[in-house]
């Protein structure tokens, strides 16, 4: 070892006592640039395939079919009652599907989070299994199962539970069933992950302190699972808003959602702008709604998460 013995009275460095300032600063800056460089491909992609097209979409929506700057693509939403109705339907379906997914998915995720990991993995595969089949195939399968002379109605009639077949498909009910089937994993997966991270000690502590199983669930487990539920709900809801195939096939032409109108509008008015306007409106309303959810949920979670 070569010890540098410095006379405390004498200054070795001219840098007023601060050593290697410039180099250290440069190292820090290089680190930042390095990180930025690492994520620049993805940033570039996001810019290229999301921000740019969406901006372009917005720009296009301001032109009519003759290429003149106008609001005609937006005026249509007010003039044609069908757009309002489509809009309402889109949100009705999305709310409905999300609500059913919560009712079905929450207990499912809870069950999965409480059983041993091995059993949970097997059940999880069953939950994810539908992902391996195309949406189209699943939707057709539902048609076969739910139609007037389908499996469900046949069984119910054979069992003497009903006399007339139930209208389970080609209507709002059909869309709810088909979409719930597709959306359920999107709610269950984030919810399960967040439930799994809730330590069993919290529930033990709740019971130990005198709360029965029901009280422990509602006062301890449920509030702790809310952030995961919120994540699942937002994913499910937003995906629902853009659904095309399932409502088109299972709604019997009566449940028309926004994405279906985009395609139809673009074709009818021979003009990208017409369809773009629908996209812009949906994007704006979705953002607005997400903001509202966020605000509402934060309030809810905060309320459930204490304060006196």
Residue range at the interface with another protein (CB under 8 A); choices 147-155, 183-191, 236-244, 291-299: 147-155
Least gap, CB of 149 to another protein (angstroms)? 5
141 near another protein (CB under 8 A): no
| Between 112 and 257, CB nearer to another protein | 257
Neighbours of 83 (CB within 10 A): 18
Residue range at the interface with another protein (CB under 8 A); choices 15-23, 31-39, 130-138, 206-214: 206-214
Per the CB < 8 A criterion, the answer to whether 13 and 19 are in contact is yes
Residue range at the interface with another protein (CB under 8 A); choices 28-36, 44-52, 196-204, 231-239: 196-204
Least gap, CB of 259 to another protein (angstroms)? 14
Who contacts 1 (Cβ-Cβ below 8 Å, separation ≥6)?
none
3-state SS string for 30-79: HHHHHHHHHHHHHHHHHHHHHHHHHHHHHHHCCECCCCCECCHHHHHHHH
Distance CA 258, CA 86 (A): 6
* Site for another protein, residues 246 to 285, rule: CB under 8 A: 248-249, 252-254, 256, 264, 266-270
Q: Whose CA is closest to 237, among 102, 110, 136?
A: 102
134 near another protein (CB under 8 A): no
Q: What is the DSSP letter of 8?
A: T
x/- binding map, residues 3-42, to another protein, per CB under 8 A? Answer: ----------------------------------------
307 near another protein (CB under 8 A): yes
114 near another protein (CB under 8 A): no
Least gap, CB of 179 to another protein (angstroms)? 18
Distance CA 99, CA 105 (A): 10
Distance CA 76, CA 71 (A): 9
209 near another protein (CB under 8 A): yes
Distance CA 287, CA 220 (A): 31
x/- binding map, residues 148-167, to another protein, per CB under 8 A? Answer: xxx----------------x
Dihedral pair phi/psi, residue 6, rounded to 5°: -110, 130
Distance CA 277, CA 265 (A): 10
Neighbours of 21 (CB within 10 A): 10
Distance CA 55, CA 38 (A): 25
x/- binding map, residues 232-251, to another protein, per CB under 8 A? Answer: ----------------xx--
80 near another protein (CB under 8 A): yes
293 near another protein (CB under 8 A): no
86 near another protein (CB under 8 A): yes
Angle in degrees, 0-180, between the axes of helices 258-268 and 81-114, rounded to the nearest 10: 150
Residue range at the interface with another protein (CB under 8 A); choices 43-51, 113-121, 216-224, 237-245: 216-224
| Between 74 and 124, CB nearer to another protein | 74
Give the interface with another protein as residue ranges (CB under 8 A).
80-82, 85-86, 89, 143-144, 147-150, 167, 169-170, 199, 201-202, 204-213, 215-216, 219-220, 223-224, 248-249, 252-254, 256, 264, 266-270, 301, 304-308
């Amino acid at each position: 070892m070569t010890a540098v013995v410095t006379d405390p009275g004498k200054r070795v460095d001219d840098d007023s006592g601060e050593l290697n300032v410039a180099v250290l600063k440069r190292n820090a800056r290089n680190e930042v640039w390095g990180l930025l460089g690492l994520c620049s491909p993805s940033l570039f992609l996001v810019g290229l395939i999301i921000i740019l097209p969406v901006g372009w979409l917005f720009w296009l929506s301001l032109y009519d079919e003759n290429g003149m700057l106008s609001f005609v693509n937006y005026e249509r939403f007010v003039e044609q009652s069908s757009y309002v109705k489509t809009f309402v339907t889109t949100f009705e379906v999305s709310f409905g599907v999300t609500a059913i997914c919560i009712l079905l998915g929450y207990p499912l995720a809870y069950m999965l989070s409480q059983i041993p990991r091995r059993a949970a993995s097997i059940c999880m595969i069953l939950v994810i299994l539908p992902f391996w089949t195309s949406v189209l195939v699943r939707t057709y399968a539902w048609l076969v199962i739910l139609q007037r002379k389908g499996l469900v109605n046949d069984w119910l009639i054979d069992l003497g539970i009903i006399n007339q077949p139930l209208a389970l498909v080609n209507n709002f009910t059909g869309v709810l069933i088909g979409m719930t089937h597709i959306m359920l994993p999107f709610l269950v997966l984030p919810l399960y992950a967040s439930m799994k991270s809730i330590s069993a000690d919290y529930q033990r502590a709740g019971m130990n302190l005198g709360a029965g199983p029901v009280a422990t669930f509602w006062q301890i487990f449920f509030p702790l699972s809310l952030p995961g539920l919120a994540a699942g709900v937002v994913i499910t809801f937003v995906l629902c808003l853009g659904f095309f195939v399932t409502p088109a096939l299972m709604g019997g032409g009566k449940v028309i959602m926004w994405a279906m109108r985009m395609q139809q509008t673009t074709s009818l008015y021979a003009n990208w702008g017409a369809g773009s306007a629908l996209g812009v409106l949906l994007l704006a309303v979705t953002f607005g709604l997400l903001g509202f959810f966020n605000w509402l949920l934060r309030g809810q979670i905060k309320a459930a998460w204490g304060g006196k």
